[in-house]
Structure 1
Amino acid sequence: MDAQHTGNQDRPDSALQQRVDERTAELSQALAVVEAQKRELEHALRMRDEIQLQLEAELEDARLLHGISAMLVDEHNVGELFQKLVDAATLIMRSDFGSIQRYDEARGELQLIATRGLNDEAVSYWQWVHPGRATTCGHALLKSQRVVVPDFESWGDISGSDDLIAFRAAGVRAAQSTPLLTRSGRLVGMITTHWTRSHEPQERDLRLIDIVARQAADLIERNSAAEALQHHARKLVEADRYKDEFLATLAHELRNPLAPIRNGLAVLKIGKPEQAQRVLPMMERQLHHMVHLIDDLLDVSRISRGMVNLKRARVQLSAVIDSAVETSRPLISAANHRFTITLPGTAVWLNADMTRVAQIISNLLNNAAKYTPPGGDIELVAEVIGDEVVVRVIDSGIGIPAAMLPRIFELFTQVDGSAERSKGGLGVGLALAKRLAEMHDGSVEVESAGGKPGAVFTLRLPIMASTTNVAEDDGSDGAPAKARALRILIVDDNEDAAETLSLLLQELGHVTSVVTEAPKAMAAALAFLPEIAVLDLGMPHLNGFDLARLLRAEPALRDTYLIALSGWGMEEDRARSRDAGMDHHLTKPVTLRDVEDALLKSIVAMGGGISKRS
């Protein structure tokens, strides 16, 4: 019984233990679930804290960037704006120093425009940085991308350089440089931050510096555009002022010779023969002065448009100078200047357009004569230096202010806009001299001691190295042979011009017929059968080009030598004349020599049985 009783007791204990085990397992499972939930909750809390910290950091960044933007919007001084950008960059990057550089496209280098913390020696040393220099900005400029150096002491590209020594002296140990790129991708500058310790920026820092870099790039681009606009506006205002001054000067310069010409005509009308010998040379001089002014203006226009072709030949320097002096002598003599010439002891030959080089020297002499008080000294000295001839025009005149020296060869520039205006001309001569010299592979320079009297203009031209295949020109024009009597038809709607040309030709022994209405020219030509027809080009109803084509199409007039007469004398105008069938082109106002040369050419052409276009 005892054994049976013991077995019965063991069964209840086993059941209890089983229930305990089951309950323990349930509790363990519940505990595991709770622990898992706890871990999830702790992870969620950590995530919440991290997100909160991130949001707080981003909010701080946003406030910082907002403050920077507000600061930039409120600032109207460009220099202060750049300084505030540097301050913002150093704040964002938690750096010790900072700098902004502008990219100078002309030099291809970075120029320092704002800094924070760097001493004067460092600012001076890194004022300009070229691509590839042993700095972060120099390498960033070369690569067009950000360069970060956590420690200069371990950076191989700077080892042993002067820049490393300068960084040590400035207390700089690490740096980063971020290019400033416009929205179109054009590099306009560089923003750099420096640390006194080894340091590598975090991703957050670099993201923020990129935002500041964008603002800096936009600022530089806007500033550059504004500066360009202001510069253009200043140039327009200056050009408008030059235009007004030029028109006033032109009117003045043209009225000067017109006054004595008009007075001379009044004297001639009175009819005293003894006065003609005094009046006519004076009128001729004044007319020559007017023509010279107009020719200078036309020359400048032709050169600017590339329409001047030099007629180079082998010419002797002394002949060129003689021609220039002959042109300028009246102006020099009129002011009683003491004038001396010094030439090389041996012949000097140039491969040059004699007329144009003489024009250069004459313009320099005229300038000296105009700006030298009466009784002053003018000296022309020519010498050979190396493979160049150097011609100096030295005067004891009023001198040139230092501020005017850089602009003295600009078109329409006047040394003095007031008292000297009356004798300063149009401000064309020096500009023309410089351009003609450059076309001869030479140069013109000026020296003056500012307020002290006198100026020195120096012309340099290459001397001739060889005379092979170059025509020689002795500088003399030679008088043309006298033309035989010719039948000449003149067609010009300007009656005065037509009649005076007719009178001139009649005085030379020729027979003339004048037509002042172009539509009537064909009938007059068929009745007169001229050997030569002089046709004005700018006529109403029927211009000279079309009239020439009509005359060429008529069998009876096919061999008539046609001469164009026009105020336009550029190469394209002469080309139009040739295309219309003209044989020769004269530019108004024509001189007696021009007329005689044209007639001589016509005789040669007709005698040879061919038409020589010129």
Structure 2
Amino acid sequence: MLKHNAIESAEYEHFSPNPALEQRVEERTAALSQALAVVEAQKLELENALRMRDETQRQLEAELEDAHLLHGISAMLIDENTLGDLYQKLVDAATLVMRSDFGSMQRYDEERNQLELIAHRGLNDEAVQFWKWVHPGRACTCGRALAVSGRVIVPDFERCEFIEGSEDLIAFRKAGARSAQSTPLLTRNGRLVGMLTTHWTRTHEPGERELRLLDIVARQAADLIERNTSADALRHQTGRLLEADRYKNEFLATLAHELRNPLAPIQTGLVVLKIGKSEQAPSVLSMMERQLGHMVRLIDDLLDVSRISRGMVTLKRERVELGAVIDSAVETSRPLITAAKHKFTVTVPGNIVWLDADMTRVAQIISNLLNNAAKYTPPGGQIELVAEASGAEVMIRVIDNGIGIPAAMLPRIFDLFTQVDAAIERSQGGLGVGLALAKQLAEMHDGRIEVHSPGAEGGSVFTLRLPVANAAAMDPAADRRPALGRAAAAAARVLIVDDNIDAAETLALLLEELGYTTSVVLEAPKALQAALAFAPDVVFLDIGMPHLNGFDLARQLRGQPALKDVYLAALSGWGSDEDRARSRDAGIDHHLTKPVMLEEVTDLLAAVTRRV
């Protein structure tokens, strides 16, 4: 019993609570738990670090792969031979980076506002033909991208609202395409130059990495396309400049030839007048006058082209009868037609046709067409002028059986300095200005000129179309000529003011031969006193004189009461509409352009003499 009690006592002592020990156990347990938490945290951190390392490694490997891919693409694109090769390589690059089954590239046509298929990969002929041209908003990714001006991705054609039920969907099914993306090709200034599209045979939506690579390729593609387009435009411009330079050289040579042609007989005529017989003078002078008139027409044509090009020609529109215009043109061209012994017929409408036009300029158009026909029709050929009214317009056709116009020349026939056949044995002279001038004048009248020719030796037909006047004809008896200023009833005294002594004294000698009393002043500042002393009825004054120009001199003359009724006529090499307007503002009654034909001077003096 005592032993049992002793054991119980010992067990009690052993298992009895020990606060100190329990506290130490608890502290140790907490320390171990904390240490374990640190280890767990370190383990988790290490695992995260390992995952990040693996992810970084994978990312670096992917970027390295992308870099190798882009490097290969760059090398491939730089080594292009032709523009077509470049386009194909761009499509290959796009399908490579997108890992697609098909690819296509389109060029943006600004004029048509459409995409034109220019390269593809994997598309069959039917698909190529079907998507040859794509307009904005068409039921495909490229049409949608063109309409919204941005990238369009369709993961599944069968579930796309804007493609559903369209012919494009049927075409996609036939081609085996199920999904696609289209990326616009934009230059650095934002101009659209094309579209890159990739297709997959399965449902697919490209990832961020694929699109990022595609954007890099698209940027490079846009730059390369722009570079090649600019280079092509530069080559084209260089070709045009070289062609223009060739035209310039041909024109200068032709101009020299055409000016020497009349100068040679004029020079010979002067020699004949000096050493020849007196009875030869009338025929020699007539010849010299014709040749001088030819030179004047050449120079006038050149000046007209220059003035029209600069917008310095103003039409003097009035109500004119078509028949009168044609008569004027035929009168001008008949000597050339007669000299070549052409058979010439004129057909005009039986009824009166009225035009609101500048009669002189329209007659000039028709005359140029007739001259062209006479020039390029062999001697003894046939020329017809046929005019007919058709609705709101009149058609004037000039038909010849001459050398014709090759098909390659038809688009350029109205270009300045262009001649159909410049061969010495074929050409009848000219500067290649007449048709260009005729076209410009026709367009200023809201008309146009058309040309047709079956080719060499087939003759040609030039058709001038002009609008017919709407209102009834004006009184034909009405005098539409500008009033000539007042002069004395017996105008016989003429003062000539010109710093060119040869021009001034030659005109004076001519007028004296015709019975006029003349006086010549070579220095403009002395002209006012000379006019007061001479009391002229008419003053011919040059415009471009040193120290005092003709405009200012005219104002001085008009400022003198004794000279207020004198008739002032400008005689100048400056003859634009602006120059004529300045003459009117200065008080000058009439403006003549050098070289002036004798008839112009005598007609003016006769008209002034008749007026009170």
Equivalent runs, 1:93-172 vs 2, <5 Å = 93-172=98-177
Match of 1:593 in 2: 599
Task: Choose which of 539, 564, 569 in structure 1 pairs with 2:545.
Answer: 539
Alignment of 1:439-518 (within 5 A): 439-467=444-472, 470=474, 472=476, 484-518=490-524
**488 and 430 in structure 1: CA distance in 2 versus 1, 3 angstrom threshold:** same
3-state SS of paired residue (2:253): helix
Distance in 1 of aligned mates of 2:457 and 2:10: 140
Paired letter, 1:207? R
- Cα deviation for residue 306 of structure 1 reads 1.9
Number of the residue aligned with 1:260: 265
Q: Please give the per-residue CA displacement for 1:315-370, whole angstroms capped at 9, x wherever unaligned.
A: 22222222211111111111121222222232222222222111111111111111
Question: Would you say the 8 A contact 1:109–1:131 is kept in 2?
Answer: yes
SS at match of 2:162: helix
TM-score (norm 1): 0.91
| Bigger mean CA deviation after superposition, 135-144 or 155-164 | 155-164
> Which 10-residue stretch deviates more, 57-66 or 313-322?
313-322
Identity %: 72
Give the Å deviation of 1:209. Answer: 0.8
Tell me the alpha carbon deviations over residues 233-289 of structure 1, each in whole angstroms, 9 at most, x when there is no partner.
222222222111111111111111122222222222235232233222222222221
Deviates more, 1:38-47 or 1:372-381: 38-47
1:48 Cα shift?
A: 1.2
Cα distance in structure 2, aligned partners of 1:497 and 1:483: 27
For normalisation by structure 2, the TM-score amounts to 0.91
Question: Could you say which residue in structure 2 is the equivalent of 1:5?
Answer: 7
Q: Distance in 1 between matches of 2:17 and 2:86?
A: 87
Distance 2:479 2:10 in 1: 154
The residue type equivalent to 1:417 in the other structure is A
Which moves more between the two structures, 15-24 or 149-158? 15-24
Aligned partners of 2:67 and 2:27: how far apart in 1? 58
CA shift, 1:463, in A, is 1.9
Q: Residues 269 and 147 of structure 1: is their aligned pair in 2 closer, same or farther, counting only changes over 3 Å?
A: same
CA distance in 2, matches of 1:424, 1:93: 66
Give distance in 2, aligned partners of 1:564 and 1:401.
46
- Tell whether 2:381 aligns with 1:379: no
1:182 and 1:604, CA in 2 relative to 1: closer, same or farther beyond 3 A? farther
- Displacement of 1:420 after TM fit? 5.8
The worse-fitting range, judged by mean Cα deviation, of 22-31 and 430-439 is 22-31
Structure 2 residue identity aligned to 1:372: T
- Match of 1:9, as an amino acid? E
Conserved? CA contact 2:489–2:610, under 8 Å = no
Task: Label 1:385 to 1:474 Cα distance change in 2 as closer, same or farther (>3 A).
Answer: farther
Alignment match, 2:290: 285
**2:51 aligned partner:** 46
User: Separation in 2 of the partners of 1:561 and 1:37?
Assistant: 116
- Name 1:176's counterpart in structure 2: 181
Aligned mate of 1:311, from 316, 321, 324: 316
1:180-191 pair list within 5 angstroms = 180-191=185-196
Alignment of 1:216-227 (within 5 A): 216-227=221-232
CA contact (8 A) 2:488 2:537 kept: no
Letter aligned with residue 242 of structure 2: V
Mapped contact 2:117–2:132 kept (Cα < 8 A):
yes
Alpha-carbon distance in 2 for matches of 1:590, 1:38: 111
Contact 2:258 2:429 in 1 (8 A): no
* Residues 69-113 of structure 1: per-residue CA shift (max 9 Å, x gap): 222233353332222221111100011111222222222222223
Instruction: Select which of 381, 394, 401 maps to 2:399.
Output: 394
Partner amino acid for 2:308?
Answer: I
Change (3 A) 1:476 1:47: closer
> Is this contact kept in 2: 1:483–1:596, CA < 8 A?
no
Decide whether aligned partners of structure 1 residues 7 and 254 sit closer, same or farther in structure 2, where only a CA change above 3 A counts.
farther
Residue type at the aligned position of 1:184: N
Name the SS for the 1:513 alignment partner. strand
Deviations 1:540-561 (A, max 9, x none): 3433233334434445445433
In structure 2, the CA distance between the partners of 1:550 and 1:344, relative to structure 1 (3 Å rule), is closer
The answer on 1:70 being equivalent to 2:108 is no
Task: State the one-letter code of the partner of 1:488.
Answer: V
**3-state SS of 1:451 partner:** coil
Is 1:563–2:535 an aligned residue pair? no
CA distance in 2, matches of 1:238, 1:39: 79
Q: Which amino acid aligns with 2:508?
A: S
